[in-house]
Structure 1
Amino acid sequence: MFEICVEHTFSAGHALRDYHGKCENVHGHNYRVQVAIEGPELDQHGLLYDFAELKKRLRATSEYLDHQFINDLQPFDQVNPSAENIAKFICEEIQKDLESASISYVKVWETDASCAVYRP
């Protein structure tokens, strides 16, 4: 099995609903996202997937969230905008367009020391 990873950053604000603690208040993060895809075979060029294409897909998904109040965006107007749910959202958006590989995980860091991982 082969695996490649790309990372991208974006900044956004959010507030956790029905949560009792500091994070129920509006606050922001400089998020770092890592997406890893895996597959059993390489293409004729010896690649699992083009890094540039995967970065492009991650950037496009991140742009939707960048410099926004995430609670106002779909699906986060209905789903709590936790790091876990953001990771799942990014995974589902990127997986829509992948044909030759599948996502093995998405990591979303809210801080240098705290991240959530979603594995489909």
Structure 2
Amino acid sequence: MYEVKIVSDFAAAHNLRNFRGRCENLHGHNWKVEVVVRGDRLDDAGVLLDFGELKQATRDVLQLVDHQYLNDLPYFKERNPSSEYIARFLFENLSARVNGDHRWVHSVSAWESKDSCATYYGESR
């Protein structure tokens, strides 16, 4: 099994509904995002996935959330824009761009601060 990981970031505002705490108020974060891709074989160049390709796919997906008020995005109309759901949103969008017959997005972590993150793994492969 092989694994590659990249780290990126985005900034956005949100507020959590029905949270019963300060995070119900409008606020923002500079999220750090970790994307892990796994696979069971390498290509002819000995690479699971080119880092540049993964970084570009991640940049494309992050453009959907960067400098946005997350509560206004359709995905978050029925879901609270928590770090957990943000990680899932990024996971699902990256999977659509990256997954192939021998590689898949394994996990996405959304760090809302230097010491707090949520990770989404999706379904077991």
Q: What is the TM-score of this pair, normalised by structure 1?
A: 0.97
- What SS class does the counterpart of residue 79 from structure 1 fall into? coil
Provide the rounded CA distance (Å) in 1 between the counterparts of 2:77 and 2:50. 33
- What SS class does the counterpart of residue 18 from structure 2 fall into? coil
Per mean C-alpha deviation after superposition, the further-off stretch among 29-38 and 73-82 is 73-82
Q: What's the RMSD between the two structures over aligned residues? A: 0.8
Q: What is the TM-score of this pair, normalised by structure 2?
A: 0.93
Could you list the structure 1 runs, at least 4 aligned residues long, displaced by more than 6 angstroms after superposition: none
Contiguous gaps of at least 5 residues in structure 2:
none
Letter in 2 for 1:106: V
Partner residue in 1 for 2:117: 115
Letter in 1 for 2:28: G
The one-character-per-residue Cα deviations of 1:37-95 (angstroms, maximum 9, x if unpaired) are 00010000000001101101111111111111000012012210000000001000010
Shift in Å, 1:103: 1.1
Provide the rounded CA distance (Å) in 2 between the counterparts of 1:97 and 1:64. 14
Tell me, yes or no, if structure 1 residue 13 matches structure 2 residue 47: no
Partner residue in 1 for 2:3: 3
- What SS class does the counterpart of residue 64 from structure 2 fall into? helix
Letter in 2 for 1:105: S
Provide the rounded CA distance (Å) in 1 between the counterparts of 2:121 and 2:73. 23
Letter in 2 for 1:113: D
Letter in 2 for 1:69: Y
Letter in 2 for 1:108: A
> What is the number of residues matched between the two proteins?
120
Report the identity percentage: 42
Contiguous gaps of at least 5 residues in structure 1:
none
Provide the rounded CA distance (Å) in 2 between the counterparts of 1:2 and 1:28. 35
Provide the rounded CA distance (Å) in 1 between the counterparts of 2:30 and 2:97. 26
Shift in Å, 1:97: 1.9
Provide the rounded CA distance (Å) in 2 between the counterparts of 1:8 and 1:74. 23
